[in-house]
A and B are shown apart, each in its own frame.
Chain A
Amino acid sequence: MSELRIRFAGRGGQGVAAAALLLADAAVRAGRNATFSQSYGPESRGGASKADVIVSDEEIAYPIASALDVLVALSASGRDRYLPELRPGGLLIADSSGDDAVPGTVCAILPITATARATVGNGPGANLVALGAFVETTGVVPIEAVEAAISARPPGGSVALALAALHAGSRLATPHIGAAREAMAM
């Protein structure tokens, strides 16, 4: 497979970078090549946040993603900002609380935030639900590799809660597997 370029976008504090980092870590654990880079503003909370992961089986010459294959948006502003960089036919994973389907893309509009709240209560968790949805739909890395990455460095400190959110996300996205895999193959 050639490079797969994935961007996670949202507001600072949503755990966008943490989810992307788990994905990159999982990819390396699964024997693949991966890069992670993020860009951020001065705020630790609030503000815009994005993180890019490139997964490949070859050397990754240039680690900054463009012509995105996948955009995982945890906020409407993140979606709007980076949608122009999603390649035609690319996969958009976004939260149904603020999003509608976007023409020209393959969309998995899912109740990410609501599922996170139902699974782990208040606080962060939507990032892991989104990561679970990403892994389920794309199959880029085996879920076991993500579980290992989470166990090594559980975001929020609780492996059990983090895994619960991850699995809730993957269950949520199961109906979208077929369409997403087609998008990946394009």
Chain B
Amino acid sequence: MNELLQGNAACARAALDAGCTFFAGYPITPSSEIAEQMAAALPKRGGVFVQMEDEIASLGAVLGASLAGRRAMTATSGPGFSLMQEHLGYGMYAEIPCVVVDVMRGGPSTGLPTRPSQGDVMQARWGTHGDHPAIALAPASVAEVYELTARAFELSDRLRTPVVLLYDEVIGHLRERVDLAPVSPPPAARAGPDGRSPYAAGEDDVARLPDLGSGQRFHVTGLGHGERGYPTDDPAVVGDLALRLARKVERARAEIAWAETYRTEDADLVVVAYGIVARAARRAVDDGRARGMRLGLFRPRTIWPFPAEAFRAATAGARGVLVAEMNLGQLAVEIERYVPRGSVATLLRADGRPIAPEEIVAAAVRVTDGERVVA
């Protein structure tokens, strides 16, 4: 059925359809609509909504609910995402599934509460201290917010780790026509087999904790821990744990790391963009081609882990890459790892305004003329 739907509303609906029955959050622009919709919907279907005292508490409650067997989510924006970093690290280390939505606004600090940005890309990767795995998905349309929110729950459950949904304010507040195919909740296979060794991983390197209501006795900690879940700083044990956590996401990279390409087959210059900027870039590719430029678009739908294989394939025949993003070059740094030195140009804005199609076409012209940093 065709309907006009807001990005944040699509996120809330996807969470409900994916079987999320617990939401804890704290009001913050531009993500508050998600909390409001969950507050209205969850109690009617036996779920729980709780407004916590801050974002640290919100993610703490979400992790607690997840440990107790609920599919759980929170949503926030930059300042709140900063506060959540402590518990993101806990969730990754203790292997507790949950979904964290970060609707990006201008930063740092209080920044530009009502204006879009993509400034949290690196925070989603390295925001919490220590080595840790990270998964972040980046939808570029209302329909895709729905699709990737549901996917985030599935991935989080399967890999037992927090998954971040990362989109900018424009996508969050955008309303557009969608015709959604409703998802169903993934099967609830939460209880692990053995409370005595809750962190004994299977061949997929995923440890599956029993839930707290299962009656099994086990320990969960944010300290270094072995298979029993008990604290240790034995270098062999904690070293293995760090490697296993990295491996568990790396092993799943092929199925996690999605990207979309558009007209890259014969492109001289491949524009890399995500979120709302990818929408501008798609228009720019068409407009540029109408002017005789051979442009293509590479759009990562997964930011972390970065879809490197797809990126290499999409840019194999290109002479250059133009990264357009609403920050000062966060994904560009990652992309530089995959291309010859000097072949990445950037079009960057960190002023709370989206990048327009015309800007990308103009940048492409200048890059073709040899410039590297065009804004």
Contact = CB atoms under 8 A, between A and B. Distances in A.
Is there a direct interface between A and B, measured as CB atoms under 8 Å apart in the complex?
yes
B279 A61 contact: yes
A41 B173 contact: no
A40 B114 contact: yes
A63 B173 contact: no
A28 B114 contact: no
Interface stretch (B40-48, B78-86, B174-182): B174-182
Interface in A33-72: 33-42, 60-64, 66
A123 B252 CA distance: 57
Contacts of A38: 173
B279 A28 contact: no
A34 B114 contact: no
A42 B115 CA distance: 10
Nearest to B354: A64
B283 A64 contact: no
B351 to A, nearest CB: 13
B177 A33 contact: yes
Given A28-B2, A42-B113, A62-B357, A37 B173 contact: yes
B348 to A, nearest CB: 18
B4 A66 contact: no
A34 B177 CA distance: 6
Contact of A60 (B176, B357, B358): B176
Given A28-B3, A62-B357, A64-B170, A36 B114 contact: no
B151 interface: no
Contacts of B358: 66
A150 interface: no
B362 interface: no
A37 B173 CA distance: 7
A35 B174 contact: yes
A36 B113 contact: no
Nearest to A149: B4
Contact of B114 (A41, A60, A63): A41
Contacts of B2: 28, 31
Nearest to A63: B174
Contacts of A61: 279, 282-283, 286, 357
Interface of A: 21, 24-25, 28, 31, 33-42, 60-64, 66
13 contacts: A24-B4, A28-B2, A34-B177, A36-B4, A36-B176, A40-B114, A61-B286, A62-B280, A62-B357, A63-B170, A63-B279, A64-B170, A64-B280
Given A24-B175, A25-B4, A35-B176, 7 more contacts: A33-B177, A61-B283, A61-B286, A62-B279, A62-B357, A63-B174, A63-B276
Question: What 8 A-B pairs have minimum CB-CB distances, sorted nearest first?
Answer: A36-B175, A35-B176, A61-B283, A62-B283, A28-B4, A62-B279, A28-B177, A25-B4
